[in-house]
Amino acid sequence: MAADRAYDLIVFGASGFTGQFVVEEVARVAAEADAPRPLTWAVAGRSLSKLEEVLERAASALGIPELKSKESIICDVNDPLSLAEMCKQGSVILNCVGPYRFFGEPVVKACVENGTHCVDISGEPQYLEGMQLKYDSQAAEKGVYVVGSCGFDSIPADMGILYTRNQLKGTLTAVEGFLLVQTGPEGASFHDGTWQSAVHGMSDQDNLRKLRRQFGHKPLPVIGAKLRRRGSVFHSNTMNQYAIPFMGSDASVVKRTQRYLYENLQESPVQYGAYATVGGIGSVILLMVAGFFFWCFTQCRWGRKLLIQYPEFFSAGYFTKQGPTKNQMAGTSFSFMFFGEGYREDQDPQQGKPSVKICTQVKGPEPGYVATPIAMVQAAVTILWEPKSLPNRGGVYSPGAAFSRTTLTERLNKHGIEFTVISKPER
């Protein structure tokens, strides 16, 4: 890693819907008085005028006029030379250009080739695991850290499991996580970029399975009692509402982390079940009907085209080309509840039933465009400021694998994504 880079951080895709909020978060962090040293950064994208507009909006929103003169780098994801030039100027690229299955690899390739670390906010397992398969060895040779899924929902889930493990005196063997999103009077909505990723991901499950077979992984050992399998819909007594398996990338990201910790650090793997709460029986019925039609439409080209062309109609207003309003964002928050079980320090996890339980929570502001920029920026500065706490080799990592020995959890706590213990066994 060259020590004479012009910028610590470069926000690539700064003029995109999520990118503009990442820019604001970088500006906030750069203005903090307790930083180890002044943070240098720039924005990058295809259009100079749009980048200038983003900087002007950030300057107005944060009351920092000097942001208007922040440096802009012209760069196009379809132009390898411009990507290389961008990467040579920064220590860490914050890649906000999605869907990542279409636009992510050129950025990873350019970062690895030019010795630049890279973080993104992808929730697309095929992209995330494909980059690990293709670029992990090369990134290791270059000493480059490529860390995907550094936003919501993977950072709260992946780091939440590690937090739960660290709070239990003994061996944590299994965790069930429940996501609850709370909204205000105007409800919640998300930008259709996330919708597009879901459409393509649902239609491409066969290729994901083929990709995973290329790793040749052996199944992780089951330590302790096997985590029970839940149905496609069930009533959670602990959450007091119905829940369904969470369709995001959580489970796959957590599994990658647990595999890394087991194979490289000899840590006991934790089984994980990821779920989302959906409310009462009426919500369950609507969700099942919507899910069935969504699946049907993703199985053919014309169906996918319709879904992508009319996201607001097919998602009942949850995904729009405009994204959420300020009021919607202000009224929305999330919480993950983690219910863990394990064995006391003086017990053999392979003998008998689990003897201890723990409940933790990770909560924060609106997940898509408030919590995600917080998580992404804190992941980036952790790479920047805690290099000795990262894995001893570069590579393509999940967040938990990259940051298990850093202070990322503490950093997130200070910035509004809170990790707390709800209950744990008395000693």
- Position 425 scores a pLDDT of 67
Count structural domains, the chain.
2
Q: What is the mean pLDDT of residues 198-210?
A: 81
Cis peptide before 99 (omega within 30 of 0): yes
Place of tokens 């050129």: 106
84/59 same-domain check: yes
197/288 same-domain check: yes
- Position 200 scores a pLDDT of 78
Q: What is the mean pLDDT of residues 124-144?
A: 97
Q: Does 408 reside within a domain?
A: no
217/294 same-domain check: yes
User: Does pLDDT of 93 surpass 70?
Assistant: yes
Please report, rounded to a whole number, the percentage of residues in the chain having pLDDT higher than 90: 71
- Position 196 scores a pLDDT of 83
Domain that holds residue 175: 154-371+414-423
Q: How confident is the model at residue 359 (pLDDT cuts 50, 70, 90)?
A: very high
Radius of gyration of the chain (CA): 21
205/294 same-domain check: yes
Q: Which of 10-24, 127-141, 273-287 has the lowest mean pLDDT?
A: 273-287
356/385 same-domain check: no
User: Does pLDDT of 117 surpass 80?
Assistant: yes
Q: How confident is the model at residue 316 (pLDDT cuts 50, 70, 90)?
A: confident
CATH number, domain at 117? 3.40.50.720
134/170 same-domain check: no
Q: Which of 163-172, 183-192, 352-361, 404-413 has the lowest mean pLDDT?
A: 183-192
Q: Which of 139-143, 200-204, 385-389, 400-404 has the lowest mean pLDDT?
A: 200-204
- Position 427 scores a pLDDT of 47
Q: What are phi and psi of 82, to 5 degrees?
A: -70, -35
130/166 same-domain check: no
Q: How confident is the model at residue 3 (pLDDT cuts 50, 70, 90)?
A: low
Q: What is the 3-state secondary structure (H, E, C) of the chain?
A: CCCCCCEEEEEECCCCHHHHHHHHHHHHHHCCCCCCCCCCEEEEECCHHHHHHHHHHHHHHHCCHHHHHCCEEECCCCCHHHHHHHHHHEEEEEECCCCHHHHHHHHHHHHHHCCCEEEECCCCHHHHHHHHHHHHHHHHHHCCEEECCCCCCHHHHHHHHHHHHHHCCEEEEEEEEEEEEECCCCCCCEEHHHHHHHHHHHHCHHHHHHHHHHHCCCCCCCCCCCCCCCCCCEEECCCCEEEEECCCCHHHHHHHHHHHHHHHHCCCCCEEEEEEEEECHHHHHHHHHHHHHHHHHHCCHHHHHHHHHCHHHHCCCCEECCCCCHHHHHCCEEEEEEEEEEEECCCCCCCCCCCEEEEEEEEEECHHHHHHHHHHHHHHHHHHHCHHHCCCCCEEECHHHHHCCCCHHHHHHHCCCEEEEEECCCC
Q: Does 359 reside within a domain?
A: yes
**Which has more pLDDT, 212 or 289?**
212
pLDDT tens digits, one per residue of 137-191? 999 999 999 999 999 979 999 999 999 999 999 999 999 999 999 998 888 888 8
Q: Are strands 72-74 and 319-320 parallel, antiparallel or unpaired?
A: unpaired
Q: Does 409 reside within a domain?
A: no
User: Does pLDDT of 327 surpass 80?
Assistant: yes
- Position 127 scores a pLDDT of 94
Average pLDDT of every residue of the chain: 93
Q: Does 1 reside within a domain?
A: no
Q: What is the mean pLDDT of residues 44-68?
A: 97
User: Does pLDDT of 91 surpass 60?
Assistant: yes
Q: What is the mean pLDDT of residues 369-395?
A: 97
305/158 same-domain check: yes
Q: Does 2 reside within a domain?
A: no
Torsion of CA 230, 231, 235, 237, to 10 degrees: -10
208/141 same-domain check: no
211/67 same-domain check: no
Which range, 111-115, 223-227, 273-277, 303-307, is most confident? 111-115
- Position 386 scores a pLDDT of 97
Q: Does 138 reside within a domain?
A: yes
User: Does pLDDT of 424 surpass 80?
Assistant: no
Q: Does 197 reside within a domain?
A: yes
168/275 same-domain check: yes
Please report, rounded to a whole number, the percentage of residues in the chain having pLDDT higher than 70: 99
Q: Does 84 reside within a domain?
A: yes
Q: How confident is the model at residue 132 (pLDDT cuts 50, 70, 90)?
A: very high
- Position 350 scores a pLDDT of 84
348/220 same-domain check: yes
Indicate left, alpha or beta for 352 from its phi (over 0: left) and psi (-120 to 50: alpha): left
